[in-house]
Amino acid sequence: MEVTQGVRFDTLNLSPEIMKALEKRGIELSTPVQAGCIPPMMEWKDVVAKAPTGTGKTFAYGIPIVEHIDPEDETVQAVILAPTRELAIQITDEIRDLAAFRPGVRTVCLYGGAPIGKQIDTLKKHPQIVVATPGRLSDHMKRRTVRVDTARTVVLDEADRMLDMGFIHDVTRLLDRMNHRKNLGLFSATISREVMDIAWVYQRDAEEITVRADEQNKPDIKQFRMEVASNEKADAITKILKETGFDRCMAFCNTKGNTERICKFLQMRGVNAECIHGDIPQKRREEVMNRFRQGQIAVFVSTDVAARGIDVDDVDIVFNCDIPDENQDYVHRIGRTGRAKRQGVAVSLIADYPSKLRIDDIAAKTRNEIVPVRFNAEGHLEVIQ
C-alpha cells in the first residue's frame, strides 16, 4: 500500500496519554509513514515500511509500542534494533518523550563503546522497552543480564543499513530467541535482498507500507558541486558560510584523519567547528552532538557514523568534503538538511578526477541535478553555465 498523506493524530484512536505527549511536542498531523503503520501495528500486524530517511519512522512504530506496554509487567515487552549507537540514543529519547505521561513505562538503551556495568544497573530496573545495537544486545544476552524472549513486538530500524553492516547473523539469532513475538516491524529506506529474506522467514501476511520520495516527502535540497584543491576545502567552506550567513552546518569526510584535519583547519580560520568519528570516546561524541543540537556549534564535522544518528531539523547546509563511496551514503548525508519543509543546501567539494567520476555517477543513479558552482573574481559564488 502506498501512502501519500498524513492524517490527524486525533483520528487514530490513541490514548489520552499519547495525545498529551504529542500535544507537548506541538504535533497534530502525522506523516504518511505514521498514517500507514500505526493502525496495523496497533492491531499487532507485521509491517514492512519503505520510507525515506527523515519521514518520522520512529513515531510510526514508537506510538504502537508505547500504547501496548503493560506498566505492571516487568518483563521486556518490545525490542527495537538499530545499526548505530547514535540512532539507538535518538530512538530512546523519542520513545521516552512518547511515554512521558505513562508512569511505569521504562526504556533502556544498550550500545557498544559505553560501560556495560551502567547498562546492567539500568536493566535491573526492569525496563519493558529495549533499544539496542545488535552486537551489544547479544553481549548482554550471553551475560544473561537481559531476557528478550518475552518480547511481543520487535522492530528493525534502518534494516537495510543494519544488514549491510554485517549484523544479519546477530539479527537472525536474536529473532530466533524471541518466540513470543506477536509482530515484527521492518523499517527501511530501501528494501534490499537481505531485508526481503528476513521478511519472508520471520513475517506472516505483513502489511507493506511504501512512502515514496515524492515532492511532498522528498526534502527540498539544492545540490551543488565545486572543484577545489585538496588543501583549500576548509577555505571554501569558510567562504560559503560567510557569503550565505548559514550557521548550522554538517560536513562529512570519508576518513577519521580527514575529519580531524578539516575540523582543525576550520578552527584555525575562526570557525566554531567540532568533529566526531569512531575513535572519539562515546561520552565526548554525545557531548558534541548535544551541543550541535542546541545550536552551540556552527559546523559539525563527521564520518558517516553520525549521518544516520543525528536528527536535527534545521541544518542549513551539508558539505561533502570527500565524496562517499556508496550512493546511499550520499543520500543519507544530504538528507540531514531540507527537513521540516525547509529548503536545504548540499555542496560537494571535488578535489580529484576519481571524485569527479563518483559525483557524476551519484547524479546519474540518484537522478539528482548537482549544479557546478565556483567563486568568481570578486570571490562570490556563481553557477558555471
Please report, for residues 78, 133, 285, the alpha-carbon distance to residue 115 in angstroms, rounded to integers and kept in the order given.
Answer: 23, 14, 15
Task: Say if strands 381-383 and 370-375 run parallel, antiparallel, or are unpaired.
Answer: antiparallel
pLDDT given at position 147: 93
User: What is 213-251 written as a DSSP string?
Assistant: --TTTS-EEEEEEEE--GGGHHHHHHHHHHHH----EEE
Closest to 81 measured CA to CA, from 20, 146, 154: 154
pLDDT given at position 310: 63
Give 176's contacts (C-beta < 8 A, 6+ positions apart).
none
How far is C-alpha 72 from the geometric centre of its chain's CA atoms? 32
Q: What does the alpha-carbon distance between residue 254 and residue 248 come to, in Å, rounded to a whole number?
A: 20
The helix (run of H) or strand (run of E) holding residue 42 is: helix 32-42
DSSP class of residue 206? P
pLDDT given at position 268: 95
Cβ-count burial of 89 within 10 angstroms (0-12 exposed, 13-18 middle, 19+ buried)?
buried
φ, ψ of residue 350 to 5 degrees: the values are -105, 120
Q: 259 and 275 in contact (C-beta within 8 Å)? A: yes
Please write the tens of the pLDDT for every residue from 133-157: 999 999 999 999 999 999 999 999 9
pLDDT given at position 69: 97
pLDDT given at position 308: 56
Q: What is the pTM of this model?
A: 0.66
φ, ψ of residue 351 to 5 degrees: the values are -110, -10
pLDDT given at position 340: 62
For the chain, which residues score pLDDT lower than 70?
213-219, 306-313, 339-341
pLDDT given at position 306: 57
- Cell, residue 72: 505492571
Task: Tell me which residue has cell 549484523.
Answer: 167
- Helix (H/G/I), strand (E/B), else coil: 74: coil
Q: What does the alpha-carbon distance between residue 209 and residue 37 come to, in Å, rounded to a whole number?
A: 7
